[in-house]
Every structure is written in C-alpha cells, then in structure tokens.
Structure 1
Amino acid sequence: MKRVNFYILSLFCLLLISACSQYSSQLEPRDQNIERVGVLYVSHGGNEVFNEKGIWDVTVQIFSYDENSPLYKSILWNEDFWPKLLKYGNAQKNLGKYSFEYERIGGRDPYPAAKRKVTKDLTKILNHKEGDIGIDFVVDKMTWISPEINEIAHPRRLYNPGVEGGSVLRFCDSDWRRCKMDRFDVDGPVERLLSIGVDRILMIDLTTAGARFSKTYDSYQIAKELISDHNKAMNDSVVLEWVNDPLSAMDASYPQSESKWTRSSGKPESNPVIDIENYPNPVISDIRLAEFQTEGIEEKFSDTVSMKDTGILLVNHGIFPGNEIYDPKINDTLILNNNIRDTLLQKHPNLKKENILGGWFGDLIVNEDLKGRSKLERSREMRGENLGYIRLLDQTIGPQDEMGYRYWEGLEALKNNGVKHIVIAFPQIMENSVLNLVEVPNQMAKEIGYKGWLEYTQYDYETYPKVGHPFADYWGIWVNTSCKSLEDPKVKQDCCLEMGGCKGGQPYPPLRQASRTESLDDLDPSLAYDVSAFGHLGYDSKIGPPSEERPVQDQYTGTWAMWKVSEDHKAVAQFLADKVIEHIEFNSKESDR
C-alpha cells in the first residue's frame, strides 16, 4: 500500500512539475489572499500542415463528441477499424479537399500560428493587469479539434476506451513520421490549470467569432465534468464560467434525459425552452467585434465603384441538425451580422441597406426514394454542401428576409440589384485559414466567376505562392472523375467538368452516378461545379455557349473580393482581455449586492 501511495504521489508531483514548467512565466508566488484565475482562450482548431496523421487525429476527436453515435460505440475504440478510419464519414472528401487547399497556400495554414500569437498577447495583457485588479491570471488555449493533442479539453477521454471492451487508443500507421502511440495519454488544458491550484476557470471563446455553438459547448461540458471530478477528489470548489454565456443559456436549454442526450439520441425526453433574449452574449453583442469585420470589408471596397453600387454578402455556416433545441449559434450570428450592417451604414451612408445581405451555405435535402431510415442527402441544387442547417433556438425556422438567403441566392439578388462590386465576408472567422483563403473563394467563383475577382489581373503570389490565385479547375476537387458511359453503364469515361461541355459524349453537369435509392456521397461527380470565367449565375446552356472573354446572357459583369481578415493579433487579444475583465468585474458587483 505504501508503494502504491508513493507511486500516486510521485505521479501527481510529475504532473504538477510539468504544468508549473509550462506556466513558469505566468506564475507568481502563491498568495492565498489573491484569487488565481485560469483563462482558456477557446477556438475551433485544425491542422497546421496537411498529413494523414493529422486528419486521423482530428477525425477521432470529432467522433468522440457524440457518445450515442454508432461511430463512438462501435468504431472509435475498435482497433480493427483504425487502419481504415479515413474511409469513414467525410474523411475521403477531406483528404482530397485539404490536399488541394494546403498545397495552394504553400503547405501551411496560418490559423494555428495566429492562435498562438493571440494567446501569447492575451497572456501578456492579463498578466500586466494582475496588480490593478488583484488577480493572478494563468492563460492557456483550448480547441475543439487539434493535432496538438494537449490542446483539446481532455485527451485521455479518447485514450481510455469509453465503451465496454474497447481498446486503448494507440495507433500509428507505418507511413506516419514521428508518430507517438501514446500521444492521447497527456494532460489537457483543464487538468494543467487544476494542477497549479486555480480558484476558477474562465472560458473566452472565438470558435465561431464569439457565437455560442455546440462545438464550444462540447469542450465546456467536458471541462465541467473534469472540474466536478477534481472538486470531489480534492475537496475543492473550483468553478467554471463561460464569458460568452454568463447566464448559462446552453445549460438551461440542454435536453434532459436519464442518460446523456446527444443529437444521435433523437427526440429528447424533455426539452427545456428558454427565452434567449434573457440570456445575452456579451462577446457577440460588443460592437468592437463587428468593427474587426467592417474594417476588413472596407479594405476590399473598389476604388472605382461607388458605395451605392457596392454590395456586401455575409456568409456563414449553420448548426448540426437537431441541435436547435439548445444551440443559439444562429441567433448569435444574426446579432453580429446586424451589428456589421449597422456599423457599415453608419460609416458609409451611401451604402444601400438592401445591398447588405446574409447568405448561408447549402444543406441536405429530402429524397423519399432513399433506402433506409435517413432520407437526407447532398444535392447539386444545394451545391453539394451540408453545413447550412439554419434554425433559430427552439424554432423550426431560420433567418428571414435580407439575412435569410443561401449564398448563391444572395449573390443573385445583388446581381439583380445592379451592384458593380461585391465584398464577401465570413464573420464567423477571426483568423486566416484555408477556409477563407481557398474554400470560400472557390465557392463564390463558381457562382460569379474567377475573372471578376478583384486581384485577378494582379494575382497574389504572397498568399498563393505557386499560381497566384486560389481557384481550382472545378469546385468539388475531391469528387470521382469517372462517369458511367451513356451507352453502357459498365464502361467508365472521363466526366465532363467544363461548363461549355466536352468532347466524348459526357454531359455537363455530370449525371448522378448513384441510383435514386442510394444516397449521394461526397464524391459523386454530379455535385461538382466548373469554376468558370464568369460563373453559373445568369447562364443557361440551352441559350448558347459561355465565353472565357466576357460575360454572356445575364452573368455578373462586376467585380468581387473577399474581405480582409484582421491580422492585428494584439487588438484581438486586447478585446478578449477586456471581456474577461468585464466579466470578472460584473460578477464581483453582483456578488456584493
């Protein structure tokens, strides 16, 4: 028994030494009269470089968040599946998509480096404020997914099997360089903060630019469980607070059931309904957050187009289907969108309100002919996308009117309004990544053409080192390019992926390769769009061929640009620090009442 106790004590000391080493520049000699507050800067996360190991690691992390899904129960801790894990879900699409996107920007996504810079600046600002407000701050970062395993909320939650009879998560493919089998057997940020004796932990979240979202709530729930276990084991009283959700709207609206509910559970036993207006988000509603985006939009106004002829499209992703019973992301996103619009109109009175629109990505559609329980699938009409499920909290509807378009509908409306220049912004993004540098530009170009891109004649070799632009030959770069022969379905031919048509008999767009009773997967060529000179909007192949030289028919004749994401990391960090301090001061006043 003495030997066991000695081992446990030694292990605890090693963990404490490790955490103290990481936070050595932040820790002050402990004064029990001064509160020690851990601050977690929470973001989405992603791979800095493209490789299969990174995709594999974030795939298992995604699988781990829905404890009632078949992937969690049957695959995640089944070692027979690990070598072929990248054949499941969206993995095949992601391998093709990210391979292209990372190569196009030179191989390294700037997002993780930006996140490190913001975290470093946030640490400096809060540490500098300690003497003024009598708090010892210790700052760390936490992500929803990351190849840096020690950034996710609780790595050992994946390492140790979550199902009976499961295997410890230890896997390295023979091709993966510098792969550690036990990489999930490490402390996460919550454990590190607990080990150095914090009194409370504050989460400040920019996962989707400050909007409350189920992904951050995943991390929040895991952190809350870790802290609860710690408090019971150590007779401690550490509390967890989420600056974006100070009144705990997501806790209050989360479904109640005997076992933990997730969206794979189906309809919950009890669904508490709240009035979200009574649960404000002080981060998303702060006008300074909108100003980061408006400044980036202003940088991409055209010097040759007046404000009255300028349009702005605010594009955004939706939520996971079924999560509208507790996830207020769409509500929060509308607050940010409206603040951006109002700020722009105040600064530029000649802008027209009807030319500032919200555009959401595509969603799955219903196909009643499908075999099996699910009748949902991707479709060409929804651009092959599945990230546009938009429902307001506890409602069956989404955004309406000028903020309720799909992005291609918004572009069409702006075109029909006669605008001559369009700035496209993705307000849920606060740092550059392959998403806004490559993916979204291609999604827009297939609609209104790559030749209208404002940088088209100049090119941008700093961002896109090899070719000077983000554009693929066709978007859906990951799809299969072999199609069934029209004469003999057993024979395969090259699909036609050119808007003007191809020699050889294959039509454009490619025909659906799956039968009507089989769900379209991500790789079906019918979901791909040619990234053409002037786009698909306003073009009808029945009327005549497209032109590479000029717009024809009713194609868009103006220019367009992606907004500029703020690279002022210190300003972002200052904003985050201000919100943390405001949260502390508000709670202090409330407790004094």
Structure 2
Amino acid sequence: MTSRKNIPFMFFVALLMFFLAAPSCNIRHEPIGVLYVLHGGMDTNKSMYMWDASVQMFTYDQNHPVYKFVIKNPAMWPAVLNPETTEFAVRFLRKYEFTYDRIGGTDPFQEISEKQLAAIKEELNNNEYGLKFEVDWTSWLAADHIDHLPFPRFFYNAPGNGNHLTYCGEGDADGPWENCNPERYNVDGPVEKLLKKGVSRIIMIDMTVGGMRFYKSFDVVQMAKRVINQWNEQHGTSIPLIWVNDYSNLMERSYPEDEGWTSTVGPPQKDRHVLIQGSPNPIAADPELAAFHVKGIEARFNPDVSDEETGVLMFSHGLFDPNRRFFDPKIDDVITLQKNIKTLLIERHPTMNPEHIIGGFGGVKQLNSLNGIVEVNREMRGENLAHSYYHEGETELPEDEWGYRYWEALEYLKNRGVKHIVVDFTNYVTFSVLVLEVYNQISKEIGVKTWLKYSDGDFDRYPVYGNPFADYWGNWANTDCGMQKCCFTMGGCGEGYTDYPPPRQGPLDKALSDLDPSLVYDNSDYGHLGYNPALGPPDSTRPVQEQYSGTWDVFATIDDNPLFGKMLAQHVLNAAINPLVYITNKEVKNSITAGEGIVWQAHVSGGKPPYRYEWSIKKQGTTDWRPMKKNRATWTWETGKQDTGSYNIRCKVHDSMSRSNEVVWEGFNVL
C-alpha cells in the first residue's frame, strides 16, 4: 500500500516521465545549422562576375589544366576571359550576352531562391519539437555573392606560393573593374558563420540540380567538410555534416581510392565498386517532388489538345564527364524522379498514353572515323554534357523509354502523332537564364512557331522580345566562313553564302571547335525534324514534308511555391529528429545463387539509441512483406532452392523515442 507522503514524489516522477516522452525532450537544444544548397551563378552579366564564375568552377578540381596553369599563375589571370586564348570564354560570353538580354538583364534565380529559403525558415521555425535552427544558403557558383561560397578562403588561397585570388581585371580590356574588392574572397562563408553561432551540427538540403546527387553538390559538401574539419580540430569539437540527399555518404564511399584522383585524370585505377542499392536519395524519391513537376507539366498543357494526344519529354543533362560514373549517382536519381512523375501523370490523366511519356538526354562527343579524334559533331548537336551512365554503370544511356537523345525523343513523339509536347527539364526547379537553353534546344528541332505561346508571346519572362529564341542556336559560333558568308538559315541563303549548314571550317587533323559554324542550327519556323532540303524549301507559313505540326512548351518551374519550401523543411526535420538508415551487404552483390547465404548490414545515424531493427523481404509478384524476426543491425539470409526470384529487402529502424525510418533495397535476385 502506498503511503500518503509518497504521493507528491510519485506525482513528480509521473510528471517527469510525461515530459521525457514529449516530442521536444531528449533532443539537444543547441541550434542546428541548415544550409540550402543552390547551383548559383550571377544576377547580372558583367565581366567581373564572369571571371569569378569561371575561376570558381575550375578551383574545385586541382587536376584541371585551368587550375594548374591559370589559377595558380597570376600572370595568366587576364587569359580567363580573353577570346584569343580560350574558346570557353567566347562561348559563354556570347551565350550569356544573349540570354541576359532576353530576360531583361537580371536573372530572377536568386530572388526566387531567397523566397524558397524564407519558406524553409518559416516551416523550421514553427517546428513542434522546440528545436532552434540557424538557416543560410550556399552555392556551387557565387560570382556576385562570394561570401556564400562554401569556403571562400579556399579560393582566396588557391593560387598558392604566397599569392591570393585578388584579381580585379587589371589585365582585361575593360578593367580594372568598377567596385571590385580584391579581398572579396578573404571572408567567412556560410559554414564558418554557422559554426561561430554555436551550431551542434549542420544539415544540408540540396537543390543544385533539382535534388539529384551530382558532382557539383559533392564539391560543395567536400568544401564544407574542409571548413568543419578545421573547426573541429581547432576547437576540440566533433560537429557533423549531414547531406540529406546523400545521408548514406554513397558518393564518398564510392569515390575512387587513387590518391588525388578527380575525373579529369581519367578512369581510376582503384574503383571501390560500391553498390547504390540500399542508399537512396530521399529528395529525388519523394512523391511530393514528382507532384510539383506534374503540376508544372499540367500548367503547360494545351487546352485544345486531348490527354491522349499529349506527350511528355523529361529532359536532363548527364554527368558532363563519363569518369564521374564511378561515384556519381545523378542518372539513377534522375530516373527515380522521372518514373515517379510518369506514374503520377498516368494516375491523374488515365487516358494519357504511357508510351508518350519518355526521357531524353543531350549530346556527347563521338569518335570521328575520318580523323580518329573524339570531338563534337552536328549529329550530337555540338553538345558534350550528356554522358549518361548509371552509378558504376558500363553502358551509355539508361534502358527502355528513358534512354533517348532529346531530338530522338521528339522525333518519336512527332511520328506517333502527338499533337502537344511538354518538356520537363528535371534538373531545374527554379527559372533562370539557364532555362532559355532548353527552349532553344527544343525549338531548333520542332520549331519556333509551334511554341504554345508564340502568337501572344510571354512578356513577363521576356519583357522586350516576348520569346526566348535566338535567331540560330549556337549563337556563340564564329561567323567567318572564308571567301563566303556563313549561312545560318535552313533552306539556304543564296549567292555569296555557304550552303546550310556551313561546311566544317576547322582543319580535319584537329578536334572540331565548339565555335565551328558547321555546328549551328537555325531556329526555323517549324524545325529540322522531318525536313529534307532535297525535297524542297521550307515554308514560313506552315510545316512541310514531315515537320512537326503540333504545339509544345516547357514546364512551369516550381519557383516560389511556399509548399516547396515546406517539403524541403520536412526533410531537414526528418534528418534532425529521426534515425537515418541505409543498408549494404558484405558480399557487395545484387544477386546470389539459391542455397547461398548473404549478410545484410544496417547503418544507422541520428535519432536516439538504442535502436530496434525490423528486417523483412517481399518477393516480386507478391504484396506482403515477410518478416525475418531479426532484431539486429546485421542479418544473414540463408537462402534455399525454393527462394529463387527477385526480392525487395527492407530494414525499418526504431529509436528509443519510438521514432523510425526505413530503407528498401530493390531488385535483389536469388538465381
């Protein structure tokens, strides 16, 4: 029997237990740092910003010739934008001169991104757990926001030998640049600022290329870790960094072991051969992200065309360098998102033809059989960004409906009688000058006058011209064709001009220049697909031959929809509160022979230990998960002859606060 004098004490214990079980308890109350990771660029097109952006992108790779021979040599700094010394400068100067002019001079990307950031902050500040967040942003490029580079002083000190990155255009034709601060890189970045605010950890949420894991995001993460590691060493702390998109550190675990290796060196000698299965990207896989894309696609439907006659091309860049496939899972993440988009589109529009919802990539350099040189060519649209290998993959381009080149995809949809095409560029969530490239890539194939907004124009986005189109795409190309003028008009230009397209101007014994006029495509009225000049001239009033006769548009980017910021904030909260789990197997296999055993390992971080584990499997073609009754981080599956088939392996982890997360390894085969 309980005495009366013990009642107050027992009441106190009960009250204490209640508060210990409350959501806000047992969570560290030091502020949590959050970094919203962006691609970045420059708000306006100025020489100083172009110089900074150019230098920044090459400083991440210590093996790149620009880093070794230009950045580390102050005498070469004037060469960065010198059109006589680098084609890179010419191409981007000419392209951005056009794109910034088209959008009215200022890229809206930064303003939109800051609205996204505000929505993230609002959601985090209203969290139910009593957590305090310090929120900032960082970006891969930050030409006019240098203090938002992940580690500005790394760039400042990059030249070495007592030199610092202080160039202000002294050797450029338009220099010295007005309002240029030579000490602009000698500042704290967002990581230092968060650390000085006393954060207990830093969580990165990344939309550099639409939420996909990618080498650019990896660059930012590695720079941030340099800062954090220095801080931890100097202050005796152990502050961690969690990259939500790659919480399993797949890219680090996959990164080749060769000392000092980067993709510029070539294929690695010591590849780690880490499997991607069991290490998902929760952002790319989130159905909410797919739903935002679907809404953007629906916003560009043609109301006069039925769902049955509407097609969707999901377009993406590749890895830029095939050697990145050894650690970069971007293409895997792209296909995950695109499959989710397709599933939701069909769910919302059941009369859409699934065969009209497909994926496509850009072009790559190819071997020229006439000179034995791997170079850009017209067939591949003069492009070289779309090396599209799966993580650790051996084959260029994904399988099935996901592996078209974008012009092949457009040709396919055209030939199937599709009357309206929406192009979803899955690497973008925010409108910027970069989106104009997509419009021009599509228009040269299926026409300018077929653009859905052609008649009325879009003066909100393009205030002077009402449209995003260049006269010809490849507007960075040289216009010198020798004794004749270069013809950039489909159908020909007449006397005194070359044929269309112009013949190759560069010598055959050297790689074809990105600036060669032969690579130019006219932005013609009804496009190049389906047109054969041998069968007659084009018509400016209607499509001829097999040219596209429907309409098209590019999806509406997510931009400043506050629900998007809320979605990202929920992923931050998940990483801050719940246990995060990924799984591997010790055999590093995705298949075994029936009768063999395989050891599965769960790797958990976050939440509050101790953890409880639930393992289960589901055979393809069945609906129920079969529990394995193993409450351990490691589980050995001893298969039998009766177990042949394809399986999903699931591990669900619960922490001591009854919070949980799970991960699924899809498509494990017992042969």
Regarding TM over 0.5, the answer is: yes
* Residue of structure 2 equivalent to 1:15: none
SS of 1:232 mapped into structure 2: helix
Specify the alignment match of 1:481 in structure 2. Answer: 479
Could you give the per-residue CA deviations for residues 67-102 of structure 1, whole angstroms, max 9, x where no partner exists? 112211121021111112113352210100010001
Separation in 2, partners of 1:75, 1:68: 12
Contact 1:122 1:576 in 2 (8 A): yes
The amino acid that maps onto 1:411 is: L
Q: CA 1:271–1:223 in structure 2 vs 1: closer, same or farther (change >3 Å)?
A: same
1:518 correspondence with 2:478 = no
For residue 484 of structure 1, report the CA deviation from its aligned partner.
2.1
Following the alignment from structure 1 to structure 2, what is the Cα–Cα distance between the partners of residues 170 and 370? 43
1:155 aligned to 2:152? yes
Equivalent residues in 2 for 1:202-221, closer than 5 Å: 202-221=203-222
Cα distance in 2 between the residues matched to 1:37 and 1:349: 44
Matches within 5 A, 1:205-284: 205-257=206-258, 259-284=259-284
Q: Report the CA distance between 1:368 and its aligned residue.
A: 5.8
Contact 2:59 2:158 in 1 (8 A): no
For the residue of structure 2 that corresponds to 1:591, the secondary structure is coil
In structure 2, the CA distance between the partners of 1:161 and 1:123, relative to structure 1 (3 Å rule), is same
Q: Cα distance, 1:590 vs. partner?
A: 6.0
Cα pair distance change 1:135/1:104, threshold 3 Å = same
Q: Partner of 2:426 in structure 1?
A: 427
Once the two structures are TM-superposed, the CA of residue 363 in structure 1 deviates from its matched residue by 1.0
Q: Is the 8 A contact 2:448 2:454 kept in 1?
A: yes
Q: How far is the alpha carbon of 1:175 from its aligned partner?
A: 4.9
1:136 equivalent among 126, 129, 132 = 132
Query: What is the aligned partner in structure 1 of residue 315 from structure 2?
Result: 315
- The residue identity in structure 2 corresponding to 1:582 is N
Residues matched between the structures, number: 548
Q: Quote the residue 1:9 is aligned against.
A: none
**Partner of residue 179, structure 1:** 180
Per the alignment, residue 609 of structure 2 pairs with 591
Change (3 A) 1:263 1:124: same
Residue pair 1:78, 1:166 contacting (<8 A) in 2 also: no
Instruction: Give the letter aligned to residue 168 of structure 2.
Output: C
Amino acid at match of 1:61: Q
Q: Is residue 37–residue 202 contact of structure 1 (8 Å, CA) maintained in 2?
A: yes
User: What is the aligned counterpart of 1:501 among 492, 495, 514?
Assistant: 492
CA distance in 2, matches of 1:516, 1:590: 65
**Are the equivalent residues in 2 in contact too, given 1:114–1:569 (CA < 8 A)?**
no
Q: Which residue of 2 aligns with 1:301?
A: 301
- The 1-side partners of 2:75 and 2:45 are apart by 25
Q: Can you give the 5+ residue segments of structure 1 that lack an aligned partner in the other structure? A: 1-30, 486-492
The answer (yes or no) to whether the contact 1:314–1:337 under 8 Å persists in 2 is yes
CA distance in 2, matches of 1:61, 1:366: 31
| Cα 1:462–1:253 shift into 2, 3 Å | same
Greater share of helix: 1
- CA distance, structure 2, for counterparts of residue 344 and residue 90 of structure 1: 40
d(CA) in 1 for partners of 2:284 and 2:409? 23
What residue is the counterpart of 1:402 in the other structure? 401
Q: Distance in 2 between matches of 1:199 and 1:465?
A: 46
Q: Which residue of 2 aligns with 1:39?
A: 34
Residue 425 of structure 1 aligns to a residue in which SS? strand
Conservation of the 8 A alpha-carbon contact between 1:369 and 1:517: no
Confirm or deny that 1:472 pairs with 2:467.
Answer: no
Shift of 1:225: 1.9
8 Å Cα contact 2:40-2:141 kept in structure 1 = yes
Greater C-alpha radius of gyration:
2
Matches of 1:182 and 1:166, distance apart in 2: 14
Listed one character per residue, the Cα deviations across residues 531-561 of structure 1 (whole Å, up to 9, x for unaligned) are 0000000000111111101111110111111
SS for the counterpart of 2:301 is: coil
1:409-436 C-alpha deviation (Å, 9 max, x unpaired): 0000000111011111101101001122
Q: TM-score scaled to structure 2, two decimals?
A: 0.80
**Paired amino acid for 1:484:** G
Q: Secondary structure at the match of 2:245?
A: coil
Aligned residue identity for 1:357: I
Separation in 1, partners of 2:238, 2:523? 57
SS of residue matched to 1:424: strand
CA deviations 1:215-249 (Å, max 9, x no partner) are: 00011111112211111111111001110111111
Cα RMSD (Å) of the superposition?
A: 1.6
Cα distance in 1 for residues equivalent to 2:223 and 2:158: 16
Give yes or no for contact 2:478–2:515 (8 Å, CA) kept in 1.
yes
| Paired AA for residue 71 in structure 2 | L
Q: Is the 8 A contact 1:43 1:207 kept in 2?
A: yes
Deviation of 1:267 after TM superposition, in Å, equals 2.8
CA deviations on 1:41-85 (whole Å, 9 max, x unpaired) are 001111111111111101000110111122111210211111121
Q: Following the alignment from structure 1 to structure 2, what is the Cα–Cα distance between the partners of residues 305 and 69?
A: 49
Q: Under a length normalisation based on structure 1, what TM-score does the superposition of the two structures give?
A: 0.90
1:414 aligns with 2:405: no
Q: Find the aligned partners of 2:384 and 2:369 in 1 and give their Cα distance.
A: 18
Matched position secondary structure for 1:278? coil
Matched, 1:53 2:48: yes
Task: Report the CA distance shift for 1:233/1:589 in structure 2 as closer, same or farther (over 3 A).
Answer: closer
Which of 105, 118, 132 aligns to 2:103? It is 105
Structure ranking higher on relative contact order (CA contacts 8 Å, 6+ apart): 1
What amino acid is aligned across from residue 275 of structure 1 in structure 2?
Answer: L
1:370 Cα deviation from its structure 2 partner:
5.5
